Structure 1
């Protein structure tokens, strides 16, 4: 069973596309909490309210870090998605953490981010532009099969 951690942007369906495309492969997926409000508010919901937003955010970030660290450390492959709309500083941090642990890193982003992410891309073993390319990488890693279009 290949363990894959799906990190990064939470505003599009890229995770669902990868999971659906990987049906039939021996892959177990994990990810951070993708409910934005739950992720932001978990610290105060669990440990109590804060008067200042900075401490509210810090509590949430620290609790989320427990899940993120465990997911990355347990993964065989870490996929990090950088979306178009927002700056994902946490995604860059996750990519760096995965690289520092020697994890197989796959980065997913559009061509507009290629220059800004050149150092992150250089640490990755693959850089993809679509979730379907991620599925093709996972299929190739597990089975050695190339995508159908590559056979033509």
Structure 2
């Protein structure tokens, strides 16, 4: 049984590649989807589709529309959502995707360091599982496949 995992969270580093590599090392039958990882394309997609916008606010709004469409479709088709919260970047997109997963009744695994326990306590209490690192998240998924 192959599961589709939506990898929610910031797109400024290669954490997704780490998840994919470690899942492959564990021979987990997983398919991964997520937001557009090309940050410039994500910011420019509204103008790519609709043409030049009159100002930066309109440009941001149109890009947001298309990115929200992508998220809604791919997150909706996923079996599990993993939302990563790190210490380095603002985590608005992670919080939005995690909240969307909860609203769509999608199983949710939150990855967050212990230092972020307090600001994420309500979200963590709505998630199925909260862990501190990628390895723990993959062990949680591995447990779905274990027969003993």
Q: Which residue of 1 aligns with 2:51?
A: 48
SS at match of 1:22: helix
| 1:9-62 alpha-carbon deviations (Å, 9 max, x no partner) | 112222111111111111111111111111111111221111211110011111
Distance 2:11 2:147 in 1: 30
- Counterparts in 2 of 1:52-71, with a 5 A limit? 52-71=55-74
The residue that corresponds to 1:9 in the other structure is 10
**TM-score, with length taken from structure 2:** 0.92
Deviation at 1:144, TM superposition (A): 4.8
Partner in structure 2 of residue 26 of structure 1:
29
Over 4 Å off, 4+ runs: none
Instruction: Report the TM-score when normalising by structure 1.
Output: 0.90
Count of residues paired in the alignment: 145
Which residue matches 2:112? 109
Q: Which residue number corresponds to residue 95 of structure 1?
A: 98
Query: Structure 2 CA distance, aligned partners of 1:54 and 1:93?
Result: 20
Contact 1:15–1:131 under 8 Å retained in 2: no
Q: CA deviation at 1:91?
A: 1.4
Match of 1:150 in 2: none
3-state DSSP of counterpart to 2:110: strand
CA RMSD of aligned residues (A): 1.3
